[in-house]
Amino acid sequence: MELTILLESFNFTHVLLGVVSPWQIAIIALAILLLFGGRKIPELMRGLGSGIKEFKNATKEDEDKSDAKIDKK
């Protein structure tokens, strides 16, 4: 009983958001800007976006294939 109360009171969002402050995010963003430069960042973001899009398409194709197998049975 005490364990369930402890688990319910443990708030994951508080832990995750409490660790990184806005100043730390700004410092990390500045470090990335200094490391990669202003011209390289749009290329990196385009690559990240196309990777996410490709991942979504692959998972959608996988779901379609599994649905087709279920329909055949």
pLDDT digits (tens, 9 = 90+) for 7-49: 555 555 555 556 778 888 889 889 988 888 888 888 888 999 9
Specify the higher pLDDT residue, 32 or 73.
32
DSSP the chain: -HHHHHHHH--HHHHHHHHS-HHHHHHHHHHHHHHHHHHHHHHHHHHHHHHHHHHHHHHHHHHHHHHHHHHH-
- 73: pLDDT strictly greater than 80: no
Domain ranges of the chain: 2-72
State if pTM tops 0.85: no
How far separated are the first and last CA of the chain, in Å rounded? Answer: 45
